[in-house]
Structures are given as C-alpha cells and as structure tokens.
Amino acid sequence: MTYVAKPFVAGTPEALVIGQTVAAFAENLESEVIAPLLPKYGLDNIDPEKWYPHQSWFNVLKDLNDTLGEGADSAFIAFGRKVVETAVMPPEIQSIPDILNALHAIHHLNLKNIPEEEGYQIEKVTDNHYIVYHNTPNPDTAIYGFLWGLAARFKKPEEMFVVRQLDTNPKPEICRSAFEVKWGTSKEDIA
C-alpha cells in the first residue's frame, strides 16, 4: 500500500522532529501568536538538538492554521523561506538541482520514525525545470516558501527563478501536491 501524507498528521505515532525546525518556526512568528501554543502542546523551552513528538508540532501548526485562517498562509510561507537561511547544508550542494535532488534525504535527516515514502520525489523536465512531488504532512504554503528559499539560496547570481504550485496534482497516488521550480538567466527561461 502506498503512503500519502495527510495535512497536519504525523506519518506515525512515533514520529519525531528535531528541535531546530521547531525553533526556526517559533522564532519567525510574532511571539504573541506562537507563544501561547507551544506550552499547550509541550513544546516550550525548545532545545534545537532535542527530538520532539512530530504530532505535537503538527498540533501547533493546525491550531495556528485554525486560529489565523488565511493569515496562516503568509506565516507558513515566511517560515519556509526562513528555515532555509540558517539550515546547514552539505558542502557538495552548490546548485538548485543539487538541493532538489537532496530534498528527500534532508527530510529524513530532520525527522525520525517516519514512513520511507514521506518526503519528496523529483522529476527533471529540463536542465532548469523540475517538478517536486510533495508528500509530507506540512502545509503546502510552507513547502512553497521552503522551495522558494532553496531556489533563492542556491541560484547563481545572474539567475532568476520561479516556484509555482501546480493547479492539478499529477500524481495523487504518491503525493499531496506538486510544485514546479524553474530558473535561468532570462524571463523566457522561467515563463
């Protein structure tokens, strides 16, 4: 049976997330928005090196989503962009294709006890156009921000890029949603 992630539901009851991810999100939001939610779910005093129940983290995100409504989208996008700025990446990652091809492995480095199918599949359309199949419980808006932040970090200085969520999920049997990432030196490259 194929595993397709459900929004805000950890892949297994034993799933764990590294504190660095939780801390990056908490530090990116207005403290009055996130502060009351963290202790409610046992996530106060976050140690970046410690592992926390992934479902507790999704309970915070779901609560935030329900509380802020559409305003949660901008918070999730900002988080996705921010987490990339400080993330430690292997030195061999030097380009957008490098990072896109490493997404699944990076996802599994930051989480424990999750299904192998949880994460990302990548399809190369051309040398500067990839499709990213997203199969994580994270909100789509956070994934959009994450992919945007990765492209911004790993593009060459002369390059521009675009990240778009596809209107229709081409592979619902293996993922929750799909995004295209395109980059190049002209507007025609990213059209």
48: tokens are: 């970046």
Residue for token pair 């507007």? 187
Q: Give 34-85 pLDDT, tens digit per residue.
A: 778 889 999 988 999 999 999 999 999 999 899 888 888 888 888 788 778 7
Q: What is the CATH number of the domain that holds 169?
A: 3.90.1520.10
- Are 177 and 121 in contact, with CB atoms under 8 Å apart? no
What are residue 119's DSSP bridge partners?
Answer: 135
38 backbone dihedrals φ, ψ, rounded to 5°: -60, -50
pLDDT value, residue 72: 86
Split into its structural domains, the chain has a count of: 1
pLDDT value, residue 80: 82
pLDDT value, residue 86: 66
pLDDT value, residue 88: 67
Question: Range of 129's domain?
Answer: 1-191
- pTM for the model stands at 0.91
* Lowest-confidence segment of 53-57, 73-77, 134-138, 159-163 by average pLDDT: 73-77
Supply the DSSP symbol for 68. H
- H/E segment holding residue 52: strand 51-53
pLDDT above 70 for 30: no
Please choose, from the candidates 155, 41, 166, 139, the residue with its C-alpha nearest in 3D space to the C-alpha of residue 93. Answer: 155
State the sign of the Cα–Cα–Cα–Cα dihedral 43, 48, 49, 55.
positive
Residue for token pair 């959009």? 144
